[in-house]
Amino acid sequence: MREIFCDVEVIQCIDQLNQTMVLKEEENKQMITIGGVPPDSILLKLDVSKSEYKQKSKYLKRGEPFIHKGCDYCLIIPSRQVIVLFELKSLKPKVKDYVDQFMASEIFINYCNNLSNYKNCTHFSYQFNRVLLSSKYNYGLTSKSKVIAIYHTNSCGEKIEIKTPGFPNSIRLEKLI
């Protein structure tokens, strides 16, 4: 799927030697290092700060709130047929905001996967995992390596699972998927 994302603003670097990736938000100086990243992984920044990236397509109505929402990062792991969506939030995340961001990102990435499947005559399908990184959940965890599952209902009334380790400095990917 890498070939359909061509811009250096979108495709992010993964340290292949150490099998790590760094997720960060420049605005609020948040940062986490995630280890154990498989070598075939593709890391995408879905929330690029530049204005031309805020609109998914010129065909879609500008300013339509849900359509143009997106998570901060998307990790595609073809060898495991898993996609992990990451949202970095502050101490007081708004549930509706991050649930909509996860759902809009899943829809967008499914579209991209369908384009890639058609272009390459393949039939890859992926399971989505959602990860919320917020220091709001630091107090509920007894160790840096623990992850809790929180459940919310999306706008269509479907129950979705979101995993959160709070906001540690680093964590292994296998704890999140």
The domain of 31 spans 2-175
Number of structural domains found in the chain: 1
Q: Is the pLDDT of residue 53 over 70?
A: no
Note the pLDDT of residue 28: 75
pLDDT of amino acid 57: 64
The total of other beta-carbon atoms located within 10 Å of residue 71's CB is: 26
Give the tokens for residue 172: 């292994």
pLDDT at 68: 62
What pLDDT is recorded for position 52? 59
Query: Residue 32 in 3-state DSSP?
Result: strand
In this structure, what token pair is assigned to residue 7? 């811009």
* Joined tokens for residue 116: 């890639």
User: Residue 69: which of 99, 45, 101 has the closest Cα?
Assistant: 101
**pLDDT > 90 in the chain, percent:** 58
Residue whose pair of structure tokens reads 């759902």 in the numeric block: 103
Element housing 116 (H / E): helix 95-120
CA angle (91, 92, 96) in 5-degree steps: 135
Is residue 162 very low, low, confident or very high in pLDDT (cuts 50, 70, 90)? very high
Mean pLDDT for all residues in the chain: 86
pLDDT at residue 161 above 90? yes
Residue type, 18: N
- The yes-or-no verdict on residue 43 having pLDDT over 90 is yes
pLDDT in tens, 167-177: 999 999 999 99
Q: pLDDT tens digit string along 97-150?
A: 899 999 999 999 999 999 999 999 999 999 999 999 998 877 666 555 688 899
18 pLDDT above the threshold of 90: yes
- 35 φ, ψ to 5°? -105, 170
Least confident of 60-74, 89-103, 143-157: 60-74
